[in-house]
Structure 1
Amino acid sequence: MLYRPFENRLNTELNKHQLHRAQWTILYYLFHQGSATNVEISQYQGVEKPTVTRTMTSLENLGYVEHQPSKDKREKRMQLTKLGQKVYQEVRVTIDQYEEEVLTGISEEEQLETIRILQEIRQNIMK
């Protein structure tokens, strides 16, 4: 009951930046992790590697991500470009406003308790 409306509105907000949720998730991950392989991102997102590969290719075509030089030629690590970092910062403002709007009327204490409960539910699912 919550997921679809949230996802639809999130994509509307991201569309203002010509992005969709899967792309945003990768930008977010790379911004906070520095670099990653497609396998690492697929595990983070809980999706198949080919899905991440397609999304990563689209981000690369937009100039938002690039290959990170590596000593191991078999390992293909990706990182944000300067443009990708700039886009992340711009989109972050939109996302922050959206999150603030959907959390209106919910205290910080309630938000933290909800996060704790959802993390516990996730752990139970992953057992």
Structure 2
Amino acid sequence: MTVEQEFFNQYRLMYRPFINQLNVQLEPYQLYSSQWAVLRFLNDKGPHSFVDIANFMSIEKPSVTKLVHKLVDLGYVETVAGKDKREKLVHLSKYGEELVQEIKSQLSPFFEQALAGVPQQDIEIATQVLARICMNINQ
């Protein structure tokens, strides 16, 4: 196996167990990792359209619609009309804003445990490497 193949093999071996454990952490909030990604995106970037969210997550708009409807049902987000009446903007509700902060603090030990023994510099390098791979794939 080449070093490139081994890199992606290690990523694959890490990804699924990580997502499974993240989903366990999110279960008390009735969330899955994809829904959490939407909440984090809205928290970090502010209100956005369904299309913006789909582009950010690299998924189809109907999938975003389903995710957002579930988050609306939970009271975590709200939708409002955009500049164009056909466009809807999604934003965190007041409850959603508070919840995101709570979940972030609850997830902190989980992330710390996952990265235990990994030097900060290695985490920064890995973050840069993964960002570069994303850029290469999306070109």
How many angstroms does 1:70 deviate by? 3.5
User: Who wins on radius of gyration, i.e. which is larger?
Assistant: 2
In structure 2, the residue matched to 1:104 is 116
**Percentage of pairs with the same residue:** 36
> 1:66 touches 1:78 (CA, 8 Å); kept in 2?
yes
| Secondary structure in structure 1 of the residue aligned to 2:78 | strand
Residue number among 53, 62, 85 corresponding to 2:65 in the alignment: 53
Residue number among 52, 55, 73 corresponding to 1:43 in the alignment: 55
How many angstroms does 1:16 deviate by? 2.4
TM-score (norm 2): 0.86
Residue number among 64, 88, 105 corresponding to 1:93 in the alignment: 105
Residue by residue over 1:38-90, the C-alpha shift from the partner in whole angstroms, topping out at 9 and shown as x without a partner, is: 11111111111111100100101111111235342122101001011111111
Q: Indicate the structure with greater helix content.
A: 2
Residue by residue over 1:89-126, the C-alpha shift from the partner in whole angstroms, topping out at 9 and shown as x without a partner, is: 11111222211110110111110011111112222222
In structure 1, the residue matched to 2:80 is 68
> 1:35 touches 1:68 (CA, 8 Å); kept in 2?
no
In structure 2, the residue matched to 1:118 is 130
> 2:81 touches 2:87 (CA, 8 Å); kept in 1?
no
d(CA) in 1 for partners of 2:135, 2:14: 20
> 2:75 touches 2:96 (CA, 8 Å); kept in 1?
yes
Q: How many residues align?
A: 127
Which structure 1 segments of 5+ residues have no match?
none
d(CA) in 1 for partners of 2:68, 2:26: 17
Structure 1 runs of 4+ off > 2 angstroms? 68-72
> 1:38 touches 1:77 (CA, 8 Å); kept in 2?
yes
d(CA) in 1 for partners of 2:111, 2:51: 28
d(CA) in 2 for partners of 1:81, 1:116: 32
The one-letter code sitting in structure 2 at the alignment partner of 1:72 is D
User: Greater RCO between the two (CA within 8 Å, min separation 6)?
Assistant: 1
